[in-house]
Amino acid sequence: MRAKKDELLAHSLLFSGLPREQVEKIAEIAVTKRYGKGASIFFEGDPGIGFFMVASGKVKIFKTSFDGKEQILHIFGPGEPFGEVPVFHGNPFPANAEALSECEVLFFPRAEFVGLITGNPSLALNMLAVLALRLRRFATQVENLSLKEVPGRLAAYLQYLMEEQQRQDRVVLDIPKGQLASLLGTSSETLSRIFNKMSEEGLIRVEGKTIFILDSERLKER
């Protein structure tokens, strides 16, 4: 397990490029935790006593309105950190985290991790880069939710997947369509209608979780 942990950390966005000895020190403070599908990892308002990284499976970060409506903020997969903002200010977690599938995560206690950052400026720079990327993603999401209609949000998400999966002709949805609807701020029924309409217009072809991109230029115009 230790070798697997070291490999995961060394290839993660947060710790890539760090010397081996620093990765080993980080691995020493990382605590492995396992969660079943649907299990809560933390709730909004819980003390920010550390942060996490997905080792396997997927984790969703979300907020819930007073009337029980869920808005997914992001979905994280292997090698991606989450809940890391409290490391810097010690405030409670600003949202909820839940396992979308059976998953394994690494937990980094705040006090121990801050001690490592103090002695390793390169680690702090990596964290700032990840937080800057996270801020850009959230800014894009806010823009999509506030300025674009649902078809435009879906088109933007498909383009994001094309970049992430490094494909031009197809993408594979890595979350159920119900979860995707929540991420895009709409209902499952509305999302299904939009998928059908885009298919009728010749923009995409849907085969299960695989979405074939038939006209990427027109898709960008949505």
**pLDDT tens sequence across 38-79:** 999 999 999 989 999 999 999 999 998 777 788 888 888 898
At how many degrees (to 10) do helices 150-165 and 121-147 cross? 150
Do 53 and 69 lie in one domain? The reply is yes
CATH number for the domain including 188?
Answer: 1.10.10.10
Where is the domain boundary, 76, 109, 143?
A: 143
* Cβ partners under 8 Å of residue 26, min gap 6: 9, 15, 18, 108, 113, 116, 123
Where is the domain boundary, 91, 112, 143?
A: 143
Do 35 and 130 lie in one domain? The reply is yes
pLDDT of residue 20: 85
Do 89 and 155 lie in one domain? The reply is no
Do 42 and 98 lie in one domain? The reply is yes
Question: What is the total count of domains within the chain?
Answer: 2
Q: Which DSSP state fits 201?
A: T
Do 100 and 159 lie in one domain? The reply is no
* Mean pLDDT (the chain, rounded): 84
CA separation for the pair 80, 124 (Å, rounded):
16
CATH number for the domain including 17?
Answer: 2.60.120.10
The whole-model pTM stands at 0.72
| Segments forming the whole domain that contains residue 39 | 1-143
Do 69 and 125 lie in one domain? The reply is yes
Do 63 and 119 lie in one domain? The reply is yes
pLDDT of residue 125: 76
